Amino acid sequence: MNIPDSPQHPEINNTLSELTLLYQFSNTMLSTIRLNKLTHLILTAITAPSSNLFERAILFLRNEKTNVLQGMVAVNRQLSEVLQIVGGHDALGSRWDISDEIIAQQRSAEFCLQVRLTRIEIDSVCPLMHHIISERSLCHSDETLCQQCQTCHFVRPLCGGPFAAAPLVSRETTIGMIVVDNPDSGREITSDNLHFLQLFANQAGMAIENSMLYNRIEDANINLRDARERLLHGERLAAIGEMAANLAHELKNPLITIGGFAGRLLKSLPAETREHQYVDTIVSEVSRLEKMLAEILAFSRKPTICFNACDLEEIIHDCLASCATAFEEYSIKASFSTDIPPWTVSGDAHQLKQVFLNLILNACDAMQEGGQLTVALEKAPLGNKTVIVTVEDTGGGIPKEMLPQIFNPFFTTKHHGTGLGLAIANRIILNHFGSIEAHNTGHGAVFIIRLPLAENAD
C-alpha cells in the first residue's frame, strides 16, 4: 500500500507518516534481535530527518539491582541521516536498518560517550524521576515539575534546553527512558510530538525487553552447552576408565603366565646367546606391562583405606631404597632431610608408599641424564599440625601449559606412560585429607604434599 500525500490536509499527512513510522518500527522489531543494534535503530529512527520528530535522543536503561539509570546510547540528527529503509515494496512492509559502521560512528561520537558515562540514581526524591519511573508517564521539562531538583542536573547538562522524557515500560515495569530534545533549532516539542513519543516508547520498551530476554536465553543456552560438553567429557573419561580397567583385568592373567614361562626359559638358556637376549627382552617388557596394568587396576578400584598410625620418615626411606637401582642407572644423587620427629600420620602405609614412589619415579624419568633429587620432611609453621613433604628434582620441570593437566587421569607425555601415577597419588592424598601441588623451580619440578599429623604426634 502506498500512502498518497494530501496537500490540503497536513494533519492527515502527519498522522499517516507517524503511523508509517510505527509500522516500520514493528517490522524492525521483528527482524532485530541484537540489543545494541536495536537501541541504535530506535534512536536513529526518531531523530532521522525523514521522520522530522526530534533532533536528538538519549536512551537510558535501568539496572534493577542497583536502581540506577545507565546512559546507553545517544544519537543526533547528523548521525541519523543514514537510516536506511529496506525490505517490502510499500511503506507498511518496510523496516529500518543501519550498518555496523554507522553504529560504531554513533557510539564514538562525543555526546554519546558523555551519555554513556552518565548514571542517575532513581532513589532520590526527584519529581521528574518519580513521574517517569514510578508513575510511568511522559514528562516534558517545560512543565514546572523539576525546577529545583538535584537529579535533573544529570539530564539538564545533557539537554541544556527543553526536553521530553518517556518511560520504557515492559510487563508493568519501567526498564528505562528515552529523552529527546531539539538543541539545534530550539524548536518547541509539540503535544503531537509527545503523543507520538509515548506510542513509540511503549513499543520500544517491549522490543528492548524481548531483546534482553533473548540475550539471556542465548547466554543460558551457551552455559547449558558448556555444562553438557563437560558432562560428556566426564562420561567419556569414566567410560574409558572402565574399559581400561576391564581390559587390564583380562590381560593380567595371561601376562603373568607369559612372564612366568619366559622367566623359566631364561634360566635354562645359556647366557650370551641370542635366544637368552630375546627372552630377557620378553621378561623385562612383560614386567613393564605388569606394572602398567597394576596402575590401571589401582586407579579403577574403589579405594578402601585402612587407617593406621604410620611413620612417614620410614615410608620415604623405603621408597628411596626401592629406587636405588634407578638412581644408580641414571646417575641421580638423592638426599633426604627431616626436621625433628615424630612424623606419624594416620593413614594407609601401602598407599602412601605408592604416592612417594610415583613421585620419585617421575623425577627419575625427568632426570635420565643425571641430576639431584631432594626429599624433605618438615612441619607447617602454624600449629605444627601438618607435615609438608617436598619432592624436588632438577629434571627441567613441567611445561607451564601442562601444569593444570598433570593430575588428570591418562595425561602423559611419555612414550610408555599410563598417565595414572599422579592421578592415583592425588586421589590417595585427598583420601588422607591432604593436598598435593606441583610447581616449577627453574631447574626442575617440585611436588608439595601436605598431610595432617596424627593427633598425638607432638
Ligand X SMILES: Nc1ncnc2c1ncn2[C@@H]1O[C@H](COP(=O)(O)OP(=O)(O)O)[C@@H](O)[C@H]1O
Q: Are 164 and 194 in contact (CB under 8 A)?
A: yes
Task: Report 35-64 residues binding Mg ion (CB under 5 A).
Answer: none
418 contact, one of Mg ion, ligand X, none, CB 5-8 Å limit per kind: ligand X
Q: Count CB-CB contacts under 10 A for residue 313.
A: 18
**Nearest approach, Cβ of residue 304 and ligand X (Å):** 22
Task: Report 423-442 residues binding ligand X (CB under 6 A).
Answer: 423
Closest CA to 178 of 343, 62, 333, 337: 62
Q: Pick from 29, 69, 178, 445 the residue near ligand X by CB under 6 A.
A: 445
Binding letters toward ligand X, positions 276-315, x by CB under 6 A: ----------------------------------------
Q: Pick from 76, 346, 362, 394 the residue near ligand X by CB under 6 A.
A: 362
Q: Pick from 326, 422, 453, 454 the residue near ligand X by CB under 6 A.
A: 422
Q: How far is CA 353 from CA 310, 319, 343, 429, in A?
A: 11, 7, 14, 11
- Quick one: 51 or 362, whose CB is closer to Mg ion? 362
Residue nearest to ligand X (CB): 421
Task: Report 409-428 residues binding Mg ion (CB under 5 A).
Answer: 421
Cell 633426604 belongs to which residue? 336
Q: Count CB-CB contacts under 10 A for residue 81.
A: 12
- Quick one: 274 or 400, whose CB is closer to ligand X? 400
Q: Pick from 39, 193, 211, 358 the residue near ligand X by CB under 6 A.
A: 358
Q: Are 390 and 446 in contact (CB under 8 A)?
A: yes
Q: How far is CA 85 from CA 50, 78, 96, 352, 378, in A?
A: 10, 17, 5, 74, 76
Q: Are 181 and 55 in contact (CB under 8 A)?
A: yes
169 contact, one of Mg ion, ligand X, none, CB 5-8 Å limit per kind: none
393 contact, one of Mg ion, ligand X, none, CB 5-8 Å limit per kind: ligand X
- Using the rule CB under 6 A, give the single segment among 20-28, 69-77, 94-102, 357-365 that binds ligand X: 357-365
CA–CA separation, 206 and 214 (whole Å): 12
- Quick one: 58 or 293, whose CB is closer to Mg ion? 293
Spatial neighbors of 317 by CB under 8 A, at least 6 apart, are 336
- Using the rule CB under 6 A, give the single segment among 66-74, 199-207, 333-341, 419-427 that binds ligand X: 419-427
248 contact, one of Mg ion, ligand X, none, CB 5-8 Å limit per kind: none
Q: Pick from 28, 32, 80, 362 the residue near Mg ion by CB under 5 A.
A: 362
395 contact, one of Mg ion, ligand X, none, CB 5-8 Å limit per kind: ligand X
Q: Count CB-CB contacts under 10 A for residue 57.
A: 24
28 contact, one of ligand X, Mg ion, none, CB 5-8 Å limit per kind: none
**Nearest approach, Cβ of residue 361 and Mg ion (Å):** 6
**Nearest approach, Cβ of residue 295 and Mg ion (Å):** 8
Binding letters toward ligand X, positions 378-417, x by CB under 6 A: ---------------x-x-xx-------x----xxxx--x
Q: Pick from 28, 80, 193, 418 the residue near ligand X by CB under 6 A.
A: 418
179 contact, one of ligand X, Mg ion, none, CB 5-8 Å limit per kind: none
CA–CA separation, 134 and 449 (whole Å): 60
**Nearest approach, Cβ of residue 405 and ligand X (Å):** 8
Q: Are 83 and 57 in contact (CB under 8 A)?
A: no
- Quick one: 25 or 407, whose CB is closer to Mg ion? 407
Q: Are 373 and 363 in contact (CB under 8 A)?
A: yes
Residue nearest to Mg ion (CB): 421
**Nearest approach, Cβ of residue 414 and ligand X (Å):** 4
Q: Residues in the site for Mg ion, rule: CB under 5 A?
A: 362, 421
Write out the residues near ligand X by the rule CB under 6 A.
358, 362-363, 366, 393, 395, 397-398, 406, 411-414, 417-423, 445
